[in-house]
């Protein structure tokens, strides 16, 4: 299983190196470990996150692509769909199949082995553009997004500025 995952991850890394995708960069944290990737997401244009540089780590399970990776921002992030510890909570990173604990999410929205590093990170970029406050990972951020948009915007502007200073 791990051999298949290694081959697939090596192929995806080679593809992203040859043909970078606008909006993010990705590579290995350590050349000896194909299962841990460093990702830098550029704040999407025309969003509150525009101009930001947000670092994250993608950790792949040994049975990838049968199971989804976990993505965690290592840069500060204030967003309804990012847990306070940085873990990203979006449907495509949830294990395949139905989930009785999360009935508003259909099986079709969840993990599928056809997803790639590119499709995962592009989904996260889309998430930054359109927060889902219906099933938040960060309840405080979701509440502020709904009830006090100006405070939410101030916090995000602050983390964007900090991300630029870290360069």
Cβ pair 17, 118 in contact under 8 A: no
What is the C-alpha to C-alpha distance for residues 2 and 128, in angstroms, rounded to an integer? 31
User: Which of 24, 27, 116, 123 lies closest to 64 in space, CA to CA?
Assistant: 116
Q: Which two tokens stand for residue 9?
A: 């991850």
Cβ pair 81, 73 in contact under 8 A: no
Phi, psi of 67 (to 5 degrees): -120, 150
**Catalytic residue selected from 9, 16, 41, 89:** 89
Residue 89 annotated among the catalytic residues of the structure: yes
Cβ pair 23, 41 in contact under 8 A: yes
User: Which of 58, 93, 61, 95 lies closest to 73 in space, CA to CA?
Assistant: 58
Which position has the token pair 């949830």?
94
Residues annotated as catalytic are 89
């Amino acid at each position: 299983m791990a051999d298949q995952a290694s081959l697939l991850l090596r192929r995806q890394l080679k593809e992203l190196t040859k043909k970078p995708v606008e909006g993010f960069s990705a590579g290995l944290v350590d050349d000896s470990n194909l299962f841990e990737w460093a990702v830098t997401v550029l704040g999407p244009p025309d969003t509150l996150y525009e101009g930001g540089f947000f670092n994250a780590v993608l950790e792949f399970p040994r049975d990838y692509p049968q199971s989804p990776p976990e993505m965690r921002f290592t840069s500060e992030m204030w967003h309804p769909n990012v847990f306070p510890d940085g873990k990203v909570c979006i449907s495509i990173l949830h294990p395949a199949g139905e989930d009785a604990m999360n009935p508003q999410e259909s099986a079709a929205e969840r993990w599928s082995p056809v997803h790639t590093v590119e499709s995962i990170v592009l989904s996260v970029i889309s998430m930054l553009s359109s927060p889902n406050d219906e099933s938040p990972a960060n309840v405080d951020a979701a509440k502020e997004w709904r009830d006090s948009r100006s405070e939410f915007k101030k916090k995000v502007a602050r983390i964007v500025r900090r991300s630029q200073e870290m360069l």
